[in-house]
A and B are shown apart, each in its own frame.
Chain A
Amino acid sequence: MIDDDFVKALLEGRDFISVKHRVDCLTLDCLPDSLIGFCKHLRDDQTFDLLVDLTAVDHGEEADSRFQVVLHLYSLIHKSYVRLHVACPDNQSPSIPSISSVFPAANWHERETFDMFGIKFSDHPNLKRILMWDDYPYFPLRKEFPLAGIEVPLPAADVAEVTGADVDPAPMMGGPFVASGNGRMSEAEPRAKDESWTEESEKPL
């Protein structure tokens, strides 16, 4: 049972964690440096051995602490979740320790979080992109990244070498399944209306 006694015992002697709220499940703030040790404690002594999810939230460029990694652990004994919030100390090059040594399941989750947010997980065995391709230059789930995407060349040098033709990304307009190439994009493609770039404003680089 996750009751007051459990929380009290968990907090005792651990000044690196604090209770944030208990609305839907016990939510703790944890300092990045103590994360690995605390995860080991949760796994071995408190039966929270199933890492169900690891992800991040981007609180925007103005926020004091922009990137926040969120972990969800489940205990088959307590039948409850515990949520850990870990604030990344540096907004420019966010980085926290990897917990893939404690939970092998974290390996792919951390790669995805790196891929989407650019958060580095130190001591990760294989920290490379998982959903986007290796040479992709952006982090799509950051708030400043536009919904319409940014066109980048596709890494197909090997295809170009064999076929003698370049690989171009699908166009935003004028392709087989998108609006016709005539007229204004902001009118033909309603989804482009709220974008940071259309034919009226410069494309961010």
Chain B
Amino acid sequence: MSTTVKEVQIGDVGAQAAAHADGERMSLNVGPSHPTTHGVLRLLMELDGDLITRCEPVLGYLHRGDEKIAENMTYNQFVPYTDRLDYLAPLANNVAYAITVEKLAGLKLPERCEAIRVLVCEMARISSHLLGMGVFGMDAGAWTPFMYTFTEREKLYTLFEELTGARFTTSYTRIGGVARDLPEGWMSKVEKFVDELPKAIDEVEKLLTRNRIFLDRTEGIGTISKEDAIAYGLTGPNLRASGVDFDLRKDKPYSGYEKYEFDVPIGTKGDCYDRYLIRIEEVRQSILIVKQVIASMPGGLWYAEDAKKIFAPPKEKVMTSMEELIQNFMIVTEGPQVPAGETYFEAENPKGALGFYLVSKGGGVPYRLKIRAPSFCNLSILEKLVPGHMLSDITVILGSLDFVMGECDR
């Protein structure tokens, strides 16, 4: 795309405004470096006055070639790369990736491991939605709620740090388990956090949900019909806001989600306001799940002990026993041995269904790993959704779709 540079004299502005009166079109470039785009999304738009007549998203500014990289390393080595997909919910990405590989390997995990994974997934969802709605309020001109949600999110990151050693790049799962067991006393801290969180959500709701200005800016804006949402492959809160009852945690339960009771909020209109309401309610439902997991956390191991060719043995055994030393050596040098075949797995991530399509020809390295990024699919509707809106609606529409370019461009 070539850019042309034109020098504009002050007097020309008036002339340009006059030209608009004749309905002349103007093209406007937003991004790739622009605060409202939540990353490096670039939009090429055609305007008639304030009205958008055409919108073409341009992607790829954050393309790192993750799928190529995956073909050149062992299964466990790729876990840190999944942190950097949807970097607002890295724990959920870790879990989705690990389950995909385990599905192809035919591994059965102990109950404690599954419960830990559900726990961290829901905490990741809370953290992602807290950011999503805080920033959405900011996009609509409300600064204060952002401060409230960020305070809560900071508490979550402290908990993540205690669990995984890192705030953002958690890399918590391994093929066949999780990196380490829950630290002592950690669950009571989580419980304290989820007990206090509803109060903070209530405060955000008081500031936003019945706020006249917020309602004016979001109600009836960016309406996606049920049919369009399905046709464009939307998933997650954006699809449910349009009234489609599709939640993989309910429809295709994984990692023991069927054991917990929760509701799936469904929107009616599919506008920006509905998408905000869905996220608020999903946080409340996630709190319920977290409480249930903590109340019923099973004991036992946090990794699949019998997966000798997949999960590395505990460190103290590697140091003392010959067999475990060889096992550890083989897994580190050759990678976890996964049989040949293909599999597809999708997890209900905060942004939508994160899917991995894995083709293996045996051995410790994937032959092909396709990452089905929810943000990529959710953004593909922009071309159809945006035209007909005013320029000022762009920020609100983008904020309500809650996307992350890290996973969109991969």
Report which A residues bind B (CB closer than 8 A). Answer: 23-25, 27, 49-53, 55, 57-58, 70, 72, 76, 79, 81, 83, 103-105, 107-108, 112, 116, 129-134, 140-141, 145, 147, 149, 157-158, 162, 194
Contacts and interface: CB of A to CB of B under 8 A. Distances in A.
Contacts of B341: 23
A72 B233 CA distance: 11
B68 A140 contact: yes
A76 B380 contact: no
A68 B41 CA distance: 30
Interface size class, chain B? 35 or more
Contact of A105 (B232, B342, B359): B232
A93 B62 CA distance: 29
A106 to B, nearest CB: 8
B409 A131 contact: yes
B59 A107 contact: no
B344 A53 contact: yes
Contacts of B370: 53, 55, 70
A24 B67 contact: no
6 A-B pairs closest in CB distance:
A105-B233, A131-B60, A55-B370, A53-B372, A108-B380, A131-B63
A158 B344 contact: no
Nearest to A23: B341
7 contacts: A52-B346, A70-B370, A104-B231, A104-B380, A104-B384, A108-B380, A116-B67
A51 B252 CA distance: 16
B244 interface: yes
B30 to A, nearest CB: 18
A49 B230 contact: yes
B353 interface: yes
Given A24-B342, A72-B355, 7 more contacts: A57-B359, A72-B372, A79-B252, A105-B233, A130-B59, A140-B68, A158-B4
B81 interface: no
Contacts of B380: 104-105, 107-108
A45 to B, nearest CB: 16
Contact of B103 (A24, A70, A103, A129): A24
B232 A104 contact: yes
Given A103-B233, A131-B63, A108 B377 contact: yes
Q: Pick the most buried of A24, A53, A129: most chain B CB atoms within 10 A of its CB.
A: A53
Interface in B356-376: 357, 359, 367-368, 370, 372, 376
A22 to B, nearest CB: 12
A105 B377 contact: yes
Nearest to A106: B233
